Amino acid sequence: MNDNSFDVDAVLLAYSDTVYKIALARTGNRNDADDIFQEVFLRLVKHINKISSEEHMKSWLIRVTINCCKNHFRSWRNNTVSLSDLNAELTVDFTPEESGIYQAVLRLPAKYRDVVHLFYYEELPIKEISEILKRKESTVKSQLSRGREKLKSILEEDIADENKNR
Q: How far is CA 156 from the centre of its chain?
A: 23
Compute the distance between CA of residue 34 and CA of residue 41 in angstroms, rounded to an integer: 11
Q: How far is CA 83 from the centre of its chain?
A: 18
One digit per residue, the tens of pLDDT, for the chain of length 166 reads: 445 578 888 999 999 999 999 998 888 888 889 999 999 999 999 888 888 888 889 999 999 999 998 888 776 444 444 444 444 444 455 555 566 788 888 889 888 988 998 898 888 899 999 988 889 999 999 999 999 999 999 888 888 877 787 7
Q: What per-residue confidence (pLDDT) applies to 87?
A: 47
Compute the distance between CA of residue 93 and CA of residue 113 in angstroms, rounded to an integer: 19
* Per-residue CA distances from 23 to 27, 55, 121, 145 (Å): 6, 20, 13, 23
Q: What per-residue confidence (pLDDT) applies to 38?
A: 93
Compute the distance between CA of residue 154 and CA of residue 101 in angstroms, rounded to an integer: 9
Q: What per-residue confidence (pLDDT) applies to 75?
A: 60
Q: What per-residue confidence (pLDDT) applies to 165?
A: 76
Q: What per-residue confidence (pLDDT) applies to 44?
A: 93
- CB of 22 closer than 8 Å to CB of 41: no
Q: What per-residue confidence (pLDDT) applies to 94?
A: 56
Q: What per-residue confidence (pLDDT) applies to 162?
A: 77
